[in-house]
Amino acid sequence: MRRSHIFGNWKMNKGPAESREFVVSLSEELKGVVGREVSVFPPYVSLSAVAAVLKDTDINFGAQNVFFEPPGAFTGEVALEFLIELGCRYVIVGHSERRKLGEDDKVVNKKLKRVEGSGIVPVVCIGEKLEDREQNRTFDLIANQLKIDLDGISLPFIIAYEPIWAIGTGRTATPEQASVVHSFIRQKLADAEYPGDEITILYGGSVKDKNIDQLMAESEIDGVLVGGASLDLNQFSRIVKYKE
């Protein structure tokens, strides 16, 4: 179901103590807020601390990554089973910062295969680099990412459109730029026989308290994946409470 999703990707920020403190304050701050699907994505090591605080609240949490193999001899990786045990509702797959470290579309697809049917909903990140946009390759690139990443994958999943040139740069896509790509993604999903109209598509890339109202005014934008601005309690709370 499409809803008003506000997701905070903390990236490699906030250890267990700081994460705990943050979600205690966040749940206070968001008391009485309805109609928003809020989730935070702390680093792996902070998930337990966050889970303990959020279990009795309406705020969800998820992981920033997962490995594609079941538990075993994979030093430094984290298995889906552990995320299930902790009560994660979501997992981000294919974030551009992971792709930059070598994760390609085939790996993203393997991870999605692993998550499929587990009860955890993957948030699949796609998006073009600045040079792709400048050379008018945005749509081809997005179509290709969707094709490989989602090959053989069934719902549920959420798509996050995150143009790489907008991530952490302060350079947000205009609501119109984001909308055009969202509607293209929806069409591609429909072409692949997914119920395009029902799939949640988030925008990510320098979302702030200053631009959230304009972004959420676009009917194609079902929610946002917020990086930097989700680290600040006041800013993130304002983003969650965007004005319709």
- Name the closest residue to ligand PGA (Cβ): 227
Catalytic pick from 37, 97, 128, 162?
Answer: 162
From 42, 94, 163, 205, residue interacting with ligand PGA (rule: CB under 6 A)? 205
- Cβ nearer to ligand PGA, comparing 190 with 216: 216
- Angstrom CA distances, 174 to 23, 54, 118, 152, stand at 30, 33, 35, 32
Among the candidate windows 42-50, 79-87, 161-169, 177-185, which touches ligand PGA by CB under 6 A?
161-169
**Lookup: tokens for 230:** 């989700």
Q: Closer to ligand PGA at the Cβ: 47 or 224?
A: 224
Stretch that binds ligand PGA, among 46-54, 106-114, 130-138, 221-229 (CB under 6 A): 221-229
DSSP 32: T
Distance CA 164, CA 101 (A): 14
Tokens of 78: 């984290």
Interaction between residue 204 and ligand PGA (CB under 6 A): yes
The candidate with the shortest Cα–Cα distance to 68, out of 50, 43, 93, is: 93
Task: Give me the catalytic one of 95, 128, 182, 220.
Answer: 95
* Residue selected from 15, 70, 71, 168 as contacting ligand PGA according to rule CB under 6 A: 168
123 binds ligand PGA (CB under 6 A): no
* Beta-carbon contacts of residue 147 (< 8 Å; ≥ 6 apart): 192
Stretch near ligand PGA under the rule CB under 6 A, chosen from 17-25, 78-86, 100-108, 200-208: 200-208
Longest pairwise C-alpha distance within the chain: 49
Q: How far is CA 60 from the centre of its chain?
A: 12
**Residue 94 DSSP label:** S
- Known catalytic membership, residue 162: yes
Binders of ligand PGA in range 3-62 (CB under 6 A): 9
In sequence order, which residues have a C-beta less than 8 Å from that of residue 182 and are 6 or more positions away? 161, 201, 203, 218, 220, 221
Q: Please report whether residue 162 would count as binding ligand PGA according to CB under 6 A.
A: yes
Q: Kindly report the CA angle at 185 between 126 and 8, in degrees rounded to 5?
A: 45
The answer to whether 36 and 60 are in contact (CB under 8 A) is: no
Binds ligand PGA (CB under 6 A): choice among 83, 108, 146, 207:
207
Using CB under 6 A, which of the segments 141-149, 186-194, 203-211, 234-242 binds ligand PGA?
203-211
Known catalytic membership, residue 176 = no
| Active-site annotation, residues | 95, 162
Binding site for ligand PGA (CB under 6 A): 9, 162, 167-168, 204-207, 225-229
